[in-house]
Amino acid sequence: MLSEDLIVRRRRVLRGLRQYYDLPFHPIRGEGCWLYDVEGRKVLDAYNNVPHVGHCHPHVVEAICRQVRELNTNTRYLFEPIVEYAEKLVATMPDGLDACIFTCTGSEANDLAWRLASNFSGNTGVITSENAYHGNTTFLDQIDGSSTKARRENPNWWIRVPAPPARQSGDAREDKVAAVAYAGQCASAVAELIGRGHPPAAFYFESLFCTDGIRVPRPGFMGEAISKVREVGGLIIVDEVQAGLARCGTDWWAFQNLGVEPDIVVMGKPMGNGLPVGVVVARHEIVDAFYARDRYFNTFAGNPVCCAAGIAVLEVIEREQLKLNALRIGTLLKRKIEGLMERHPNIGGVRGRGLLLGIELVIDQSTMTPASRQARWVINEMCRRGVLVGLTGPDRNARNILKVRPPLVFDEHAVDVFMTTLDAVLADLPSRLE
């Protein structure tokens, strides 16, 4: 009843702001990877990467409360937290990625990355992957491959290349063939953009291609494709908003798994455990060239409170060994899901790395036809039974991949709850869905 009234009020003032599930989910408290709803239900959060080290983590809460009591101001003055935070972030990066510009969101960071790349390269074209989503600004909306809205026309300075294959054969020769084909597609895109008078300033991609249904290219797979872009002066912008910050379990950043050396790295969601924090990390030549000709000031970005939250998140990841946990628990979860495939022909496979997994739902394992309606039913039913999980690709017309991207404090008990619920929901999946 409380929720019903709130829905009416919400619709009146927030209009078309959608809810994720068909039934309203009304949380009032969070702790670790658990949320408690208004009816007292305990719900497992297997979806949100924003509460990265766990909902309301006490160390982060304390850091925020300490700083908000002391000082919060803009970065035109001198203070310690932004410098400390930037240094700590750069320390997680490969050599050369040594300069930061803070923003408040991943969208702002991807938008700023474009200003950096076009300034540095002098070029005007963009390449993205087929179903890429990099944010909500006017510029990023123009290169939104995940949108199904009717457009008058796409800008002629934007071109898309297919994402790397979702499934790999495991055979080295076949993989090599796929990499060569992928590089060929990138080379064609570069040539096409040049033909249109817009050589690429940037090739944007998510390290694990989340909006393309989660794909994990083998190390080196992207190398040849990337060099096609670099040959004409284009920069490589890697979007780590979803996959980054120790989530993949082996490194701090997902791109490190791919053997990719980006020019610009973009981060957002998980950084402040819920406070708005985004950042662009780039080679300092790129940042210096930008500041030499242009300016960027963002009033809230890099403020002491958001930076205190960001530093605390990094500390928790270290102290609680959450990178290792992501690897250990993610591997366990993946194996258990694979184990379920025998009993549930609707599971076509599971892919991903660490605590970023995609469970592919299909009509059956032989045809591998995407089961999009079934996937929508499954996430709603899982929410109803107390587990939050998301939905993604493989493309904007077929969203049949369950996206599992929980807080990094996911543990064995959470895995058990997740598996029991998934098993039961799939068992109840209606054979026909309207």
Contact 74, 299 (CB under 8 A): yes
Among 71, 187, 332, 363, the residue binding a copy of itself under the rule CB under 8 A is 71
Distance (Å, whole) CA 160 – CA 188: 10
Contacts (CB under 8 A) with a copy of itself, residues 157-186: none
Nearest CA among 345, 344, 375, 342 for reference residue 358: 375
Nearest CA among 116, 64, 82 for reference residue 234: 116
- Residue with Cβ nearer a copy of itself (11 or 343): 11
Q: At its nearest, how many Å lie between a copy of itself and the CB of residue 17?
A: 6
Among 97, 99, 347, 414, the residue binding a copy of itself under the rule CB under 8 A is 99
Contacts (CB under 8 A) with a copy of itself, residues 258-287: 268-269, 273-276, 284, 287
User: What does the per-residue mask of binding to a copy of itself show for 212-251, with x meaning CB under 8 A?
Assistant: ----------------------------------------
Among 39, 40, 78, 432, the residue binding a copy of itself under the rule CB under 8 A is 78
User: Does residue 137 touch a copy of itself according to CB under 8 A?
Assistant: yes
Q: At its nearest, how many Å lie between a copy of itself and the CB of residue 137?
A: 5
Among 22, 42, 56, 420, the residue binding a copy of itself under the rule CB under 8 A is 56
- Residue with Cβ nearer a copy of itself (207 or 257): 207
Contacts (CB under 8 A) with a copy of itself, residues 16-45: 16-20, 24-30, 35
- Residue with Cβ nearer a copy of itself (26 or 218): 26
DSSP for 215-240, please give it: --PPTTTTHHHHHHHHTTT-EEEEE-
Residue 231 CB: number of other CB atoms within 10 A? 10
Among 130, 141, 224, 315, the residue binding a copy of itself under the rule CB under 8 A is 141
Q: What angle do CA 400, 148, 360 make, to 5 degrees?
A: 10
Q: Which residues, other chains included, contact 173 with Cβ-Cβ below 8 Å and sequence gap of 6+?
A: none
Contacts (CB under 8 A) with a copy of itself, residues 282-341: 284, 287-288, 290-303, 305-306
Taking contact as CB under 8 A, which single stretch among the options 68-76, 182-190, 328-336, 358-366 is the one that binds a copy of itself?
68-76
In the chain, the largest separation of any two C-alpha atoms, in whole Å, equals: 63
Nearest CA among 358, 367, 388, 377 for reference residue 166: 358
Q: At its nearest, how many Å lie between a copy of itself and the CB of residue 80?
A: 6
Contact 340, 416 (CB under 8 A): no
Contacts (CB under 8 A) with a copy of itself, residues 379-408: none
Residue 174 CB: number of other CB atoms within 10 A? 12
φ, ψ (nearest 5 deg) of residue 153: -165, 155
